[in-house]
Structure 1
Amino acid sequence: MTEIHEDISRETVFLQTVAKALGRDKALANAPQRNEVGPPTFWREQKFENTQPLELFKANLEALTGKVVIVRDGSEATNQIKLWLKVLNAKSAILWDHPTLRKYIEPSLLGVKTAFWNNEKPRRELIAIAEQSDVGITWVDYAIGYTGTVALFNGSTTGRSVSLLPPTHIAVMRKSDIVPTMSTVMRELLQRCGQGNLPSAVDFITGPSRTSDIEMDLSIGVHGPVRIWTIVIED
C-alpha cells in the first residue's frame, strides 16, 4: 500500500508541475474540450514563400552541424561530392542504385572506389561493403524545412545501410522536393498505401547520429554517421 501511495503522490506532483508550466493553478481533473482533429487550424493554414522551405532546411540542418550546398545541375553536384571525398581523404563510397541519383551524379568521376546497393550482390555482402565504405550517398525523396530533416524511401536498391553504416552520409536532392512540413510526406505515404506501393521502410534523418544515454554525455556518431552533408540541385 505504501508503494501505491508513493506512486500516486509522484503522479500528482508531476501533473502539478505540468499544469504550472501551462499557466494553470492546478492540474485539470477532466480532459479539456477539443473540437479539432489532427493539426490545429493555424498550422494547416500556414502560407510559405517559394524560397522559404529551402531557407528553413538550410538553417535548421546547419544548426545541427550538417552541411547544405546549393548547386545548379548534376555536373556541379558531382564536383561537390568529389571535393568532399578529397577533404575526407575517402577511398570508397557506396551509392543507392537510384535512377534519379544516377541521372545527376556520375560515379566514375568521383575518384574513389564505388559500389551500388542493388540486387546484383547478396544482402550480407552489401552490408559488409557499407560497413567498410567511407561515405554513403543517397537520393532524398523529401526534405522537411521546419526540422532540417531528410526523408529516405527504402527498397531493394535503396538500402538503409547506405545512410546508416558509413561515417559520412551525403544526401542529394532537388530543390523542388523540399517541403515546409512533414504533412506532405505523410500524404504521399497515405496515397502510396492506397496503391499498395509503400517503401519497405522510411528513414527520417535529422542531423548526424547523436545520443546522451551514456551518463548523459552527448556523443556523436554512436548509432549512425558522424556527418550528414547535403547537396540541393536547383532544377
Structure 2
Amino acid sequence: MTIHHRESFLDGVAEQLGRPRRTQVESPTYSVKPQERVLAGATADELVDVLEKQCQVIHTSIEKATLETLPETVYTVLDGYSAHRVVAAGGPRNLESGMGKFYKQLGLEGYDVHIWDEHKGRQNVNFAEKAGAGIVFSDLTLAESGTVALFNDRYNGRSISLLPETFIAIIPKNTLVQRMTQAGHLIHSEELKGNPVSSCVSFVTGPSNSADIEMNLIVGVHGPVKATYIIVEDM
C-alpha cells in the first residue's frame, strides 16, 4: 500500500494544534502507581485464594491437582461436561505433564481427541468447531481478574479456547501473578531479554459473557458456555 502526502498532512495537523511536529513519544513519569500496589507481596497461596474467589464471579469452576493426579482430574471434568470430543494444545508440555499419554488413553476409551498440529491447518479449526471441550495450558494467570493468558503459537491455536462448548485451562501454580500490570511487565521483560513472546497473546476470563443488550448477562454468546480451571500445585 502506498501512502500519499503523509508528511504534509501530519505537518498540517501539528500546525493546527499550534505545536511543533512530534516524531517520537516519551513515556510519562508517574509519581503515583497504585496499580503496582494491588496484591503486592502476596504469596502464591494467597494468589490462589484470590483466584478462587474471582472464579465464583466469572462463573468458572476450580479444581486442584498435582502432576500425578492431573490426568484423573481432567478425566473427571470431561465426564462432568459429557465432553467426548476434545481438542487440546500440543507441544512439549504434554510430555512434561504426562498429558500426552493421557490423551492417547482417552482415544483408546472411545473419546475423539485432536491435538493441535500446525501441519493440519484448517483441520484444526474444523475439529475445534465441533468439540465439546478445549484444553490448554495457561502461560500466565491473573489472580485478580481470573484471567488466563495464552501465548498462541504453532502448538496452541486460538480456536482451542474460543470454539468448543467448554473451556478447560490447566494452570501451573507458578504462572500466577497479581494482575494485568505484572503480566505486562513479564511479557515486556522477556522481549527485552531477546526471548520473543508470541505475536498473539489471548487473555481469557472464564466462559463467554455478554451484557450488551439491556445489561442482561448472557453466558456463551460468542464462545464457550462453561469453563474450568485446574490449578496444578507442583508444575
Q: TM-score, normalised by structure 2?
A: 0.78
Q: Deviations over 1:174-231 (max 9, x none)?
A: 1111112223321221123332612021111112111122343321111111111011
Q: In percent, how many aligned pairs have the same letter? A: 27
Q: Deviations over 1:27-61 (max 9, x none)?
A: xxxxxxx9725733871793213411111111111
Q: Give me the CA root mean square deviation.
A: 2.2
- SS state of the match for residue 154, structure 2? coil
Match of 2:113 in 1: 114
- The answer to whether the aligner puts 1:208 opposite 2:207 as a matched pair is yes
Match of 2:166 in 1: 168
Checking the alignment, whether the CA contact within 8 Å between 2:149 and 2:202 is kept in structure 1 is yes
Checking the alignment, whether the CA contact within 8 Å between 1:211 and 1:222 is kept in structure 2 is yes
Checking the alignment, whether the CA contact within 8 Å between 1:142 and 1:177 is kept in structure 2 is yes
Match of 1:185 in 2: 183
Task: Mark the runs of 5 or more structure 1 residues left unpaired by the alignment.
Answer: 1-33
Checking the alignment, whether the CA contact within 8 Å between 2:167 and 2:227 is kept in structure 1 is yes
Match of 1:52 in 2: 46
Flag the 1:136–1:37 CA change in 2: closer, same or farther, 3 A: farther
- SS state of the match for residue 51, structure 1? helix
Match of 1:19 in 2: none
2:86 aligned to which of 73, 77, 93:
93
Match of 1:130 in 2: 128
Amino acid at match of 2:212: D
Checking the alignment, whether the CA contact within 8 Å between 2:61 and 2:227 is kept in structure 1 is yes
Match of 1:233 in 2: 232
Checking the alignment, whether the CA contact within 8 Å between 2:128 and 2:163 is kept in structure 1 is yes
Amino acid at match of 1:107: Y
**CA distance, structure 2, for counterparts of residue 204 and residue 227 of structure 1:** 16
Checking the alignment, whether the CA contact within 8 Å between 2:44 and 2:173 is kept in structure 1 is no
